[in-house]
Amino acid sequence: MPEVLKVGADSKPKAVAGAVAAVLREKGSVELQAVGAGAVNQAVKAIAITRGFVAPNGIDIITIPAFTKVMIDGEERTAIKFLVQPR
């Protein structure tokens, strides 16, 4: 089961990318979850930045997007999850 990182519209893509790269190196895969257009935008930017962070280590990543359900304040919401793993 991959580690889950939650991304918000106010998340800094470079900081998220650093966390993604660290988890990728340690555990092999990571899942980003984002609710809303702003959060999805920051998550996609973070994934693009992550590629640059891990490429010097010979790691090429792939991303698999999917829908998932998350609970926020006791309410079920639809999120987009991005499974990031080495190719």
Give domain 3-86's CATH superfamily.
Alba-like domain (3.30.110.20)
Angle at 10 between CA 79 and CA 57, to 5 degrees: 80
| Under 8 Å between Cβ of 17 and 49 | yes
- pLDDT for 1: 78
Nearest to 5 by CA among 38, 42, 37: 42
- pLDDT for 82: 97
- pLDDT for 6: 95
- pLDDT for 2: 82
pLDDT digits (tens, 9 = 90+) for 13-60: 999 999 999 999 999 999 999 999 999 999 999 999 999 999 998 999
